[in-house]
Amino acid sequence: MKNKETVEDHTPHESHKHHEEILIDDFDHEETFSEKHPLAKKLILLGASILMIFLMFSFIFVTFPIDNIIKSALESDPLEGNVIDTGQFQIIFENGTEKELETWYLGEQETEFSTCLQGYLIDGDYYITDMYQPEMYLQTFNHVQFESCSEDTIIMLHTHPYKSCLASDTDLETLEKTRDYNPDVLMVIMCEPDKFSVY
């Protein structure tokens, strides 16, 4: 009787052990995702590596943030021929004024400068026939202080560092004050020979 009890005690234990061995054996034969899809694993690792490199470069070059470049690219409009089309209205340069503006821009790469654009409006579109540079009190790489444009100016334009076309808070305050006596005036930021943000 004692022997029978001992056998009965061991039988479930041996059965459990046998079941465990089967599970382990089955697990050993299961293929992992990387074994089934080696190319997918390589592509995932490559994508993660590129993302990490991109984030590292963004962090390193904080003095010229990449988000500013992206926002500028989304917000700015190209000069095509002699026209800037904002989608709501156009700025049309006449009398070769776009070429003159480009010459000024390429000649003053070290500092910002300002220009007063004159002309007329027809059906909401701005036609530029003439322009002049006002007296500038202070010019640095990323800042310009200048004499107010004349009241017949329809666009106040100034340059920003390369690919940085977003208006600053100071720019927008200046525009708001100017609109008190000239409600149709625009402010335009030029950050490449053919890239402009219009406010």
The per-residue pLDDT for range 80-123, each reduced to its tens digit, is 999 999 999 999 999 999 999 999 999 998 999 999 999 999 99
> What predicted TM-score, i.e. pTM, was given to this entire model?
0.66
CATH architecture for residues 75-198: 3-Layer(aba) Sandwich (3.40)
Nearest Cα residue to 109 out of 148, 155, 142, 146: 142
Q: Tell me the DSSP string of 76-122.
A: -EEEETTEEE-SS-EEEE-TTHHHHHHHHHHH--SS--EEEEEEEEE
The per-residue pLDDT for range 40-91, each reduced to its tens digit, is 778 888 888 898 887 776 555 554 556 677 887 888 999 999 999 999 999 9
Please state the rounded mean pLDDT for residues 149-160: 96
- Tokens 């821009």 sit on residue: 105
Where are the chain's structural domains?
2-60, 75-198
Q: What is the predicted pLDDT for the residue at 4? A: 44
Q: What is the predicted pLDDT for the residue at 76? A: 94
| 69 or 10, greater pLDDT | 69
Residues in Cβ contact with 18 at an 8 Å cutoff, skipping those fewer than 6 apart: none
Q: What is the predicted pLDDT for the residue at 41? A: 75
- pLDDT, averaged across the chain: 83
Q: What is the predicted pLDDT for the residue at 34? A: 58
163 near 126, Cβ under 8 Å?
no
197 near 191, Cβ under 8 Å?
yes
